[in-house]
Amino acid sequence: MDEKKKILIVDDDMFLLDMYALKFSQNSFDVFTADSGAVALEKLRGGLKPDIILTDIIMPEMDGFEMLEKINSEKLVPDSVKIILSNKGQQADIDQGIKLGASGYIVKANSTPTEVISQVTDILNRKIISKDK
């Protein structure tokens, strides 16, 4: 198998952050975590180049949308696949995420951790296939 995919998980809920970090690492991902958008940006500016950024929207200080805006405006990790994992499932939020370059939008309440991993893997595989064309 090729090298492990790096994933940066951004969520202010430490329980979820730890649980997803464990689940993704058990599924051959190289996991990095940040408990806020600001911490995530610091890591990215510091040279972290994740294949995937999985972010929550509702976080203190800086929400996921604002973090994505900053990633885009600073042109940090343009090749990373950005996926939103949130309890906000309104169409307006989904549209906003897509506008900011998210390749996927997963509603936490509707997905078990195992489903989240398979959705992330599917989105990543679709991106790789479309890049190879």
- Residue 99, C-beta contacts closer than 8 angstroms, at least 6 positions apart: none
Q: What is the pLDDT of residue 3?
A: 80
pTM value > 0.85: yes
Please name the residue that has the structure tokens 């309104």.
90
What is the three-class DSSP state of 25? Answer: helix
Tell me which CATH homologous superfamily contains domain 5-132: Response regulator (3.40.50.2300)
Name the DSSP letter for residue 3: P
What is the three-class DSSP state of 113? Answer: helix
Q: What is the pLDDT of residue 1?
A: 44
Say how many Å lie between the first and final Cα of the chain, rounded.
Answer: 21
What is the average per-residue pLDDT within 50-61?
95
pLDDT tens, 75-128?
A: 999 999 999 999 988 999 999 999 999 999 999 989 999 999 999 999 998 887
| Residue 109 in tokens | 């309440």
pLDDT tens, 4-45?
A: 999 999 999 999 999 999 999 999 999 999 999 999 999 999
Instruction: Dump the DSSP string for 65-106.
Output: HHHHHHHHHTT--TTSEEEEEES---HHHHHHHHHTTEEEEE
Q: What is the pLDDT of residue 129?
A: 76
Q: Higher confidence at residue 46 or residue 126?
A: 46
